[in-house]
A and B are shown apart, each in its own frame.
Chain A
Amino acid sequence: MKKVLFAVLVAEVAVFAATAPNFLSAPNLFEVVRLSVELGLIAIALTPVLVTGGIDLSVGALLGLSAVVFGMTHQDWHLPIAAAMAAALMTGVLGGALNGAVVATLSAPPLIVTLGTLSLFRGIAEGITHAAVNYSGFSPGFLALGQGYIANLVPMQVPVLILTAVAFAFLLHRSVIGRAWYAIGLNVAGARYAGIPVARRNGIAYLLSGLMSGVAGIIYVAHLGQARADAGSGYELDAITAVVLGGTSVFGGVGSIGGTILGLLVLAVLKNGLSLAALPSESIGILTGTLLVATIAVDRVRRLERDVRASNRGELDVKNSQVAVICAAIIAGAVLVAATNVWLVRSLTTSGTAAAAAATAPSHPERIVVAMMPKAKGDPYFVSCRVGAEQAARELGAELIWDGPTSLDAARQNELIEGWITRRVSAIAVAVENRAGISTVLRKARDRGIKVLTWDADAEPDARDFFINQATAEDIGNALTDEAARLLGGTGEFAVITGALTAANQNEWISLIRKRLADKYPKLGLVMIRPSDDDRDKAFAETQTIMRVAPRVKLVMAISAPAVPGAAEAVRQAGRSGDVRVIGLSLPNINKPYVHDGTVQTVVLWNTADLGYLTMRAAVQVVQGSLQPDATSMDGGRLGGVDIRGSEVILGPPLRFTRDNIDRYDF
């Protein structure tokens, strides 16, 4: 297994060294390691759990809970950093102990136990922060732990990863406890008869996994500078992927720490290389899946061959059909990888020269490369921004790299920017998910001579040149509240359907809506807030329930793009169009049917295509030097002259889409 994996790693490095600019440089390779520290700690601790034949799905949630506990004890209770760290570690240990106790003493299946604790830990984190509190503003000394360098080269947290790997390698491969883990994984009953305290040994594995989730939680906070209830979402699957790729069997009894590290590196290099080569983030998932199946299939073929040679019978209980399927899997994988390589090479011919030009003459590159990042790629809102950005790129003859996390993910944003810095793009424009965490990376980009802009949501003012401000949160909150008041005649009850409970934008809008209500509309009551998780179907079900639980609610305000059509469909199917009004923040296209039949009264949004267009124009002008820091207006192309206040480019007031004007917009 390790040989196969090592070959994959070598192949990856060779391909990316040839196709991705600046891939093979010491700072980039160290950065790859920094970005995989949190995941690595979890994956290493997960290896013994899988070796015993168990699994732990709660690691990501426990990371989030530890991070939140750390933030809470330090900032709300004003304990010193050391005490807060102890509290976070204690949280990890307790969480791991709960898993261990239920799995080991009640002999309940670990998959379902940790599925339960996944919800439990994430739920507690959401509960104690009300999903909205985002702890940030930690001291620079602490943040250095996650953002600083040793000797200007090695990231601070890398030694932690190495120490952990060594400790776990010793524990798993050189200690009595480790032998017991393998024995349990190979045969529980046999292990018990051999005198191994199975429950206790299993318990230790889960306890350590919890402890390392706590450590990873602290490093996560130091790395990103924030602690929020959704920290580490989805880490469990990434960690399991790394461990399984590293040759650990999910049935137990087989696996090694070295393999896990190799698996981790293969995945990290793949991610980094693909983003350096400007391939879209979606290709990572597809390639990871292919790699996972293909590597294990190749390993099986090798083992089958070895068995054939060993048995020397030529006939084995392997059927032609089996060989055919394995070969098909490998060929399919190879085709996918080859296709991506072709694309890589093609991207090399255009972007490679541009990057080389940028490297030699950073102030006057032949072709300006602007890297633009949305908060989440799949979100229709950002998809419509991209349309405008591409239009501006065509007009100005600049190259646009458009990439971002596939779902809201602050850590992934940092990762992509690191890649772009290494790639030396001319300008970076980010829709910021996490203000505190991203600013350090953006400052680093500015130090390297890259122009930095923010759009949609701002970073720290000193971390960027300009912020393209589409409409302030107050504008949104006020517009929505005023619209609700107008429709209800200033009196009555309404409900809000938000995105995920942890969504930062939505939480800010809700607090501003509450403020507006208190200031101007005392007779208007916000009686219920329900989450939709940005899922239309969930918004539909929640609206149905709201109409039954609170019949006095006469207006539903949905503040997540997919939630507006969901709420509207529920109102329409209940036959209450016109009786229960629906307003919200969403895109015109998906709401047209409901606006026309009168279910949805008003949709509020700025012109997203214009936002993308303006951002791209501003980025190019900053690189060309025609937009200077003290400017008071800029040339907005088809938008005419655009005002600049301080360092904020103002797009204009939000649009109100109603039956009269909605057909004029297509996004």
Chain B
Amino acid sequence: MTLKSLDFARSRPLGSARGTPLAAPRIPELHSEFAIAAALAVLMAVLAIVSPAFFTPGNLRDVFVANLPVLIVATGATLVILTGEIDISCGSMFAVCSVVAGVAAKASDSVAFAMAASLLTGAMLGATNGALVAYAGIPSIVVTLASMVALRDGLRWATEGTWVTDLPTSFQWLGMPATAYHALAAIIAIITLVAGAWVLRNLGAGRAVYAVGSNRSAARLAGLRVDVVRLGVFVAAGLLTALAALLNSVRFTQVPSNTGIGLEMKVIAAVVVGGAAITGGRGTLRGTALGVLLLGVVGPALTFFGSSPYWERALQGAIILTAVSAKGWKR
């Protein structure tokens, strides 16, 4: 081992993406990402022949905007899953943050305050989950199962199913023209994704996420603050869920109290179809983005093909199952 590689190892304590032997496990991920990209390409090709109307800019924008919440929440969920944990409370958190944003906007007449309130709520709910997982040592599936049920029923209790209506006019589109909002939302989503991917790949904090997910004891022995990392990913997931809830709520003039039901299943499916290992340590945000894209396009695509709505759920299940099985087969 040369001095140079030692220096390299010190500056990037947990191995870098390029050049070092530690990069080797990335190769199978590339394969599975390639498989999803190929599946996506086939679907697109069939769509292009059967129903070219799918590719009108307006429709592509609609499909993108509809999947924006899933994409942003899935970015946070990827971090959580990379550390070997899981968060199934994001659907309930999404609903709570949406309602908080609406109530705050209505009470204060200020969209900035609504944004702050919603993001703070998300971060705090995420921190509660994270603290119970990292410091109390309760398994994350138990903690988030509990908070999923408790938050959903608590919200039902508080709102009694009524919607937040009569919002200030500056709420929809954040007071901007619709096209400007769409551009802004797209930029925010892409920045989140790219920045997240960059951090995961290049910063110590990002590598720490992989390290904790790959082997928690080894990460601790290597001097990482494992509990802080675990807390951090849950806080990040909460914040991103709140961001998604915000960007989604402002597309409308009212906030319903029952949004986000089943969001957690969509998100986890997208992350895992995107190649992340549910056991932690393996996966990329690029894969997650592809997973969201594939699962998000399937729904509208089936409508464009004119398939019966009664068989759609079965088809979606078959697609997830095939993606997972194909990966297992290769291994």
Contacts and interface: CB of A to CB of B under 8 A. Distances in A.
Interface of A: 102, 106-109, 111-113, 115-124, 126-127, 130-131, 237, 240-241, 244, 249-251, 280-286, 288-290, 292-293, 296-297, 300, 319, 321-322, 324-326, 329, 377-380, 382-383, 406, 501, 529-531, 533-537, 540-542, 544-546, 548-549, 562, 565, 569, 573-574, 589-590, 592-593
Interface string B305-324: 01011111111111011001
Nearest to A103: B328
Given A250-B142, A288-B146, A562 B256 contact: yes
Q: Which of A240, A282, A565 has the most CB of B within 10 A?
A: A282
B9 interface: no
B157 A286 contact: yes
B59 A117 contact: no
A280 B142 contact: no
A78 B258 CA distance: 41
B138 A293 contact: yes
Nearest to A280: B157
B271 to A, nearest CB: 9
Contacts of B318: 116, 120
B80 to A, nearest CB: 13
B124 to A, nearest CB: 13
A293 B89 CA distance: 14
B214 interface: no
Interface of B: 51, 53-54, 56, 58-59, 62, 66, 86, 131-132, 135-139, 141-143, 145-154, 156-157, 159-163, 165, 178, 227, 248, 251-254, 256-259, 261-262, 265, 268-269, 272-273, 277-279, 300, 303-304, 306, 308-318, 320-321, 324-325, 327-329, 331
A300 B137 contact: yes
A115 B268 contact: yes
Contacts of B328: 102, 106-108
A126 B156 contact: no
A237 B256 CA distance: 24
Contacts of B314: 119-120, 122-124, 126-127
18 contacts: A108-B327, A113-B321, A115-B269, A116-B269, A116-B320, A118-B265, A119-B316, A124-B314, A126-B314, A250-B142, A285-B156, A288-B149, A296-B139, A322-B135, A325-B131, A378-B159, A569-B252, A589-B163
A609 to B, nearest CB: 14
Contacts of A284: 153
B150 to A, nearest CB: 3
Q: Which of B143, B315, B321, B327 has the most CB of A within 10 A?
A: B321
Given A251-B139, A535-B258, A123 B311 contact: yes
Contact of A378 (B160, B315, B320): B160
Contacts of B145: 237, 240-241, 244, 289, 292
B24 to A, nearest CB: 20
B268 A112 contact: yes
The prevalent SS among residues of B at the interface is helix
A300 B133 CA distance: 12
Contact of A286 (B136, B153, B310): B153
Given A109-B279, A293-B138, A382-B161, 17 more contacts: A102-B324, A109-B278, A111-B268, A111-B272, A112-B278, A118-B317, A121-B317, A123-B316, A289-B153, A293-B142, A296-B139, A378-B258, A533-B261, A536-B252, A546-B303, A548-B53, A589-B165
Given A119-B317, A123-B312, A285-B154, A297 B136 contact: yes
Contacts of B148: 237, 289
B317 A549 contact: no
Contacts of A293: 132, 138, 142-143, 146
A115 B141 CA distance: 14
B156 A377 contact: yes
A282 B156 contact: yes
Q: Which of B146, B300, B303, B306 has the most CB of A within 10 A?
A: B146
A283 to B, nearest CB: 7
A321 B257 contact: no
Q: Which of A127, A281, A297, A501 has the most CB of B within 10 A?
A: A127
Contact of A383 (B160, B304, B313): B160
Contacts of B151: 289
B153 A112 contact: no
Contact of A123 (B277, B300, B313, B324): B313
Nearest to A238: B149
Contact of A535 (B53, B160, B259): B259
A116 B298 CA distance: 15
Contacts of B59: 544-545, 548
A522 B217 CA distance: 72
Given A102-B325, A535-B258, A249 B139 contact: yes
A112 B273 CA distance: 9
A535 B248 CA distance: 13
A383 B321 contact: no
Given A123-B311, A590-B163, A108 B325 contact: yes
Nearest to B152: A285
A546 B59 CA distance: 11
Contacts of B273: 112
A111 B278 contact: yes
Contacts of A113: 321, 324
B57 to A, nearest CB: 12
B66 to A, nearest CB: 4
A108 B273 CA distance: 12
**Minimum-distance CB pairs A-B, first 6:** A123-B314, A285-B153, A119-B317, A106-B328, A289-B150, A120-B317
B258 A562 contact: yes
Q: Which of B153, B259, B303, B327 has the most CB of A within 10 A?
A: B153
A283 B154 CA distance: 7
Nearest to A529: B309
A484 B207 CA distance: 59
B157 A282 contact: yes
Given A123-B313, A293-B138, A109 B277 contact: yes
Contact of B325 (A106, A329, A540, A542): A106
B39 to A, nearest CB: 15
A112 B312 contact: no
B178 to A, nearest CB: 7
A377 B257 CA distance: 12
B177 to A, nearest CB: 12
Nearest to B273: A112
A241 B56 CA distance: 46
B150 A290 contact: yes
Contacts of A501: 309-310
Contacts of A549: 51, 53, 303-304, 306
